Amino acid sequence: MEAYFVDWLNLLVRWLHFITGVAWIGASFYFIWLDNHLEDPRDPEDTRVGVGGEVWSVHGGGFYHAQKYKGAPPFIPETLHWFKWEAYSTWLSGMALLALVYWYGAQVYLIDPSVAELSPAAAVGLAAGIIVLGWVVYDLLCKSPLGNNERLFAVVLFVLVSFLAWGLCELFSGRGAYIHFGAVLGTIMVANVFFVIIPGQKRMVAAAGRGEAPDPRDGVRAKQRSVHNTYFTLPVLFVMTSNHYAMTYNHEFNWAILIAISLAGALIRIYFVARHSGKASPVPLIAAGLLLAGVAAMIAPRASAAAGEAVAFEDVQAVIAHRCTNCHAVQPAHPAFPAAPGGVVLETGEQILAEAQRIHQQTVLTRVMPIGNLTNITEEERELIDRWYQALEARP
């Protein structure tokens, strides 16, 4: 019953995280678009009162006229909309989901003994510490003189993020490493909102309320962190979906794949931000496409060299019964699964034959199953499955 309750909790928290994430990212993308489409005010009176740019748009059967002030407006209206709870709710629900799936289920989803022998407490402690450390290092870099050099900062940040990807893949399972990479970037994004952007906006509003000119440094800092956030967005979105693609996170060079796809995501975002400004070079988009094509070519399945004596189906069925049906059963014996993962049941010969391709892919090609190698499948058993599948495919 506990596993069933945890599954429902997982569903609800994941749904909440998805909803709040859509709200946050949608608002973020919109304001980046808005900022990059501002035109000089047409009415001289608007310029006189401090309007720095405006944009007209049409949506849902109505016309909208948005204006941005260079500093503070002549007066602060009673109703002033803030955009912060989308970010906070996304992070809170994301951390709840991380704790529920990867920390509570550390032995299944976070720890891989073939990567590092960690106890659940040590693994969770390391994971939490890395998330906090990621924000601290990033924030100190932004506040250092390096933060004033946009290009050099980007290079240094890319190097550190690459080191983070490699380090996580040396500590945790591939799936756990990927999701914690996203958690570090996501925490930086929401901490930018909580510690920098919103406090700066509050100081600007307070100054305007006193009839004083806001400190322009608050606007500069907020703009810098907002730009960083938008470039982190696509890598984080990839990580959120990566658990469906064992070909990436379970590859021998999973850290390099993570870096390449994250860089491709950032390049795609660079292109669209530039496109909003009307100055888009296709180079970032082409580079992103080449990176993704290179990754696809690198991790493409290779023809198996499996050969040798014919494998009796009964031998394969015995391996699957011993190593797989603990979870892949109508009534799984493993306490972490109230139902067969992915709805895949492997209790009969017919079910095994129907899932032969998936069994081969998951146990031989991506090696993601058994998950975390909970049932200690051996290399000889993987080879047995490989030879059986190759013979099955070779049949006329």
Ranges of each domain in the chain: 95-298, 313-394
What pLDDT does residue 279 have?
Answer: 80
Arithmetic mean of pLDDT, 291-320 = 82
What pLDDT does residue 309 have?
Answer: 66
What pLDDT does residue 339 have?
Answer: 84
Cβ atoms of 16 and 93 closer than 8 Å: yes
What pLDDT does residue 301 have?
Answer: 77
Is residue 153 very low, low, confident or very high in pLDDT (cuts 50, 70, 90)?
Answer: very high
**43 torsion bin: left (phi>0), alpha (psi -120 to 50), beta (else):** beta
Residue 271 pLDDT > 80, yes or no?
yes
Return the bridge partners of 63, or none: 58
What pLDDT does residue 304 have?
Answer: 60
What pLDDT does residue 235 have?
Answer: 97
Arithmetic mean of pLDDT, 307-333 = 85
Is residue 305 very low, low, confident or very high in pLDDT (cuts 50, 70, 90)?
Answer: low
Question: What span, in angstroms and rounded, lies between the C-alpha atoms of 90 and 79?
Answer: 24
243-264 residue pLDDT tens: 989 889 989 999 999 999 999 9
Percent helix / strand / coil, the chain, rounded to 5:
70, 5, 25
Question: What span, in angstroms and rounded, lies between the C-alpha atoms of 59 and 68?
Answer: 19
Residue 373 pLDDT > 90, yes or no?
no
What pLDDT does residue 131 have?
Answer: 98
Question: What span, in angstroms and rounded, lies between the C-alpha atoms of 166 and 82?
Answer: 37
92-135 residue pLDDT tens: 999 999 999 999 999 989 999 889 999 999 999 999 999 999 99
Question: What span, in angstroms and rounded, lies between the C-alpha atoms of 392 and 396?
Answer: 9
Give backbone dihedrals phi and psi of 57, rounded to 5 degrees, phi first.
-150, 165
Arithmetic mean of pLDDT, 167-189 = 97
Q: Which amino acid is at 162?
A: S
Chain position carrying tokens 């996304």: 90
Task: List strand residue ranges (DSSP E) for the chain, in order.
Answer: 51-59, 62-69
What pLDDT does residue 300 have?
Answer: 86
Question: What span, in angstroms and rounded, lies between the C-alpha atoms of 250 and 175?
Answer: 7
What pLDDT does residue 391 have?
Answer: 85
Residue 162 pLDDT > 80, yes or no?
yes
Cβ atoms of 243 and 182 closer than 8 Å: no
What pLDDT does residue 306 have?
Answer: 56
Average pLDDT of the chain is 91
Tokens of 28: 């973020």
